Structure 1
């Protein structure tokens, strides 16, 4: 059986602690049989030889810019079957001007109306048996940033959260937005979680479980691996 390769690309804005956050999941990937490669530069995306052997890309890179050849390499890798997975700003607030990237991910962060807020997310009834959400919820309360995201119709939404009407807010009715989703892109699979501001979020048992499962879910199947 061939060993699959997980590429962890981490950097960008340090406020999301890309090193500490990804370090939580690296042992799980290794235990699952992945050869884990860590990169602190986006340049690897432009390396065709390196990207052709990747089965899973875990990105934790908030804001910043991605060059044309880097974006091309990432897109080709996913379309050819590499999984792409991430959480919070490391995938939803990456490369704000790169609409090609947002197209692959299926969504984009636009706001968190308050900083840390007590709220709940709800696993969708039709997704309670999904391998990522099985046994979770159906309702989980957390205190962290409540992301407002804009997503596209091809996302398979696993869980949602609702921004309630508030006296200090401009919206006039509750707004329910995705918290976690998957999607297919070419031959690749994509997993996204809005939750994961930093290591404290990622150590919450339900969050750690779902994200860990999501990483494995997104990876290229072993039978398809090079």
Structure 2
């Protein structure tokens, strides 16, 4: 039976929401998903009962209470929710109900790109057999829900502008449940080159499939 995916994209253009989501819409189509894209959050006002996966890339921006209620209700009922970087964990900064869905919220990154090593942890299918790898890009410092199942982590690199942060272990990729729905998040993905790294692409494609109803 064909699965249905909804891609919701917009917000700050610096994360290239159209090109990056096109990359994974193509992947899902090749996996026999029927994919619909929307450039408005009003998509969350529609009847989402037949949607098996929502992929969101919407950095910052604002969401209305009815729009958020529609998204939360869909995921609670079993629709999967997935995304990467600011498109999922730097969206709707004034909405704690949304942060309870994603399990994390972006707080800070270094002024310039840094190199950091990502260490997959545990045997979850999303990261199984993926070895540690290096990323040179934005590294997110975030506030994260202790209930997340962390699948990959990194040591936050020293930041001379924020010495008080130190070098804590920071989650990079995690999964969680919201009602009947599955949620997949990775903080990698500031630019297309990040998504094209083979281990990152593998994590995201596996994460999309895992999150699907």
Aligned to 1:208: 201
Question: Does residue 174 of structure 2 align to residue 181 of structure 1?
Answer: yes
Question: Does residue 127 of structure 2 align to residue 133 of structure 1?
Answer: yes
Higher alpha-carbon deviation: 110-119 or 150-159? 110-119
The count of residues paired between Structure 1 and Structure 2 equals 213
Question: Does residue 142 of structure 2 align to residue 149 of structure 1?
Answer: yes
Aligned to 2:154: 161
Question: Does residue 189 of structure 2 align to residue 196 of structure 1?
Answer: yes
TM-score in terms of structure 2 length: 0.96
Question: Does residue 24 of structure 2 align to residue 25 of structure 1?
Answer: yes
Aligned match of 2:56 in 52, 59, 63? 59
Q: 2: distance between equivalents of 1:5 and 1:172?
A: 42
Give 5+ residue unaligned stretches, structure 2: none
Runs of 4+ that moved beyond 6 A: none
Deviations 1:117-150 (A, max 9, x none): 11111112xx1x321111211x211101010011
Deviations 1:82-115 (A, max 9, x none): 0000000000000110111001100000011232
Q: 2: distance between equivalents of 1:172 and 1:42?
A: 34
Q: Secondary structure at the match of 1:146?
A: coil
Give 5+ residue unaligned stretches, structure 1: 221-226
Q: Secondary structure at the match of 1:71?
A: helix
Cα deviation for residue 200 of structure 1 reads 1.1
Q: 2: distance between equivalents of 1:198 and 1:107?
A: 20
Question: Does residue 113 of structure 2 align to residue 116 of structure 1?
Answer: yes
Cα deviation for residue 68 of structure 1 reads 0.7
| Cα 1:164/1:117, change in 2 over 3 Å | closer
Cα deviation for residue 3 of structure 1 reads 1.4
Cα deviation for residue 172 of structure 1 reads 6.4
Aligned match of 1:80 in 63, 77, 81? 77
TM-score in terms of structure 1 length: 0.91
Q: Secondary structure at the match of 2:164?
A: coil
- Equivalence map 1:9-48=2 (5 Å): 9-47=8-46
Aligned to 2:94: 97
The answer to whether the 8 A contact 1:165-1:171 is kept is no
| Cα 1:172/1:99, change in 2 over 3 Å | closer
